Copies of this chain bind each other. A is one copy, B any other.
Amino acid sequence: MPRPRFATADAALRQNLLDAARDEFASKPYEAASLNRILLAAGVSKGSFYYYFDDKTDLAATLFLELAKPMATIGEFERPSSPAAFWAEMHRISYARLKDIESMRTEYECVMRIASAIATDEALRDRVMPMFAPGRAKMMELLQAGVDVGALRSDLPMPALMQLLQDVKMSLFKSLYPADHVLSEAELRSFTDLVIDLAKRISASPKGGTP
């Protein structure tokens, strides 16, 4: 994490730095993102930067947490008592998150890039992972409820299913909409419908259908 001073630093500096970092990390893989370029774009000197941060990793972790926190939050949900209720809940969450994504596309790209670096960069992982446990746990809780209520197949490990549904969504999103496209309300709805329909198909138990 950054030095506590960063919280009280000049607002413009804060903003410029984080914006520049977001753009850089969004456009290049973590290892190829350049701190010098970030500082240049932000108009912040080396001295100032290292006055607030430990190192490059520190900046990435800070940025990641700032951007990913809202994305990982799913809010409160009612424990569903039927498959229909479960899918309604999933639809709601999926729609809400999608709204985030389409309005924060480069943020999302940035988060994904840093996230994929986490797998290999130990320092990054240590600073970032803990903050994510709550969100994941909550999502798991909802999915478990889905299993309990018979909406989700139980023959696959839940993390695998979770990841799969996420990947399906991203795959389609990338395929269907060009990088700079801003979705209309209608597109947003129809895309959500499509994704949830696929999620239902994928998640139904192998032998019997979803009743």
Contacts and interface: CB of A to CB of B under 8 A. Distances in A.
Interface residues of A, number: 23
A116 to B, nearest CB: 9
Interface stretch (A48-56, A135-143, A197-205): A197-205
A98 B163 CA distance: 20
Contact of A204 (B29, B32, B201): B201
Contacts of A172: 160, 164
Q: Which of A29, A31, A174, A197 has the most CB of B within 10 A?
A: A29
Interface SS of A by simple majority: helix
A14 to B, nearest CB: 28
Contact of A206 (B157, B159, B197): B197
B198 A202 contact: yes
A29 B202 CA distance: 31
19 contacts: A29-B32, A31-B31, A32-B32, A157-B175, A159-B175, A160-B172, A160-B176, A163-B171, A163-B174, A163-B175, A164-B172, A164-B175, A167-B168, A167-B170, A168-B168, A168-B171, A168-B202, A197-B206, A202-B202
